[in-house]
């Protein structure tokens, strides 16, 4: 397998025909990445290279495409136990307020 040469910007997208695969392409400018993104028809992220090491890379997600969903999803994942607990408490409160369910339980 031959790797694509690293460039400063990466466009990454989810392929609708293969939903478990993430595709990407390298670009020298944000404009070039945005131009290709317009033709994708699927969610995408544009990232900027911030560090290149020996076999590892760091990317900063730029404010284009699905970046808000990416950020929200990352934060929700970090707080997953708090969210689960809040849903449980809300559900128990709702059951407590519903008189018909009290009779069933």
What is the per-residue pLDDT across 4-39, written as a single tens digit (0 to 9) for each? Answer: 667 789 998 888 787 788 888 899 999 999 899 888
How many C-beta atoms lie closer than 10 Å to residue 91's C-beta? 10
What pTM did the predictor assign?
0.60
| Whether residue 39 sits in one domain with residue 5 | yes
Residue 92 has pLDDT above 60, yes or no: yes
Pair 47, 16 in one domain: yes
Confidence of residue 103 (pLDDT cuts 50, 70, 90): low
Q: How many domains would you assign to the chain?
A: 2
**Distance between CA atoms of 30 and 19, rounded to whole angstroms?**
25
Give pLDDT, residue 32: 92
Assess whether 55 and 74 both reside in one domain: no
Which residue range is the domain that position 105 belongs to? Answer: 66-105
Pair (72, 51) in one structural domain: no
Same domain, 72 and 59: no
Shared domain for 50 and 75, answered yes or no, is: no
Query: Is 95 found in the same domain as 59?
Result: no
């Amino acid at each position: 397998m031959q790797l694509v040469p690293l460039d400063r910007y990466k466009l990454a997208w989810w392929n609708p025909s293969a939903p478990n695969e993430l595709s990407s392409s390298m670009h020298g400018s944000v404009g070039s990445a945005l131009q290709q993104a317009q033709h994708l028809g699927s969610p995408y992220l544009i990232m900027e290279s911030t560090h290149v090491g020996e076999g590892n890379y760091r990317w900063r997600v730029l404010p284009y495409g699905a970046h808000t969903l990416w950020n929200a999803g990352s934060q929700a994942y970090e707080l997953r136990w708090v969210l689960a607990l809040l849903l449980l408490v809300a559900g128990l409160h709702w059951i407590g307020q519903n008189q018909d369910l009290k009779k069933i339980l």
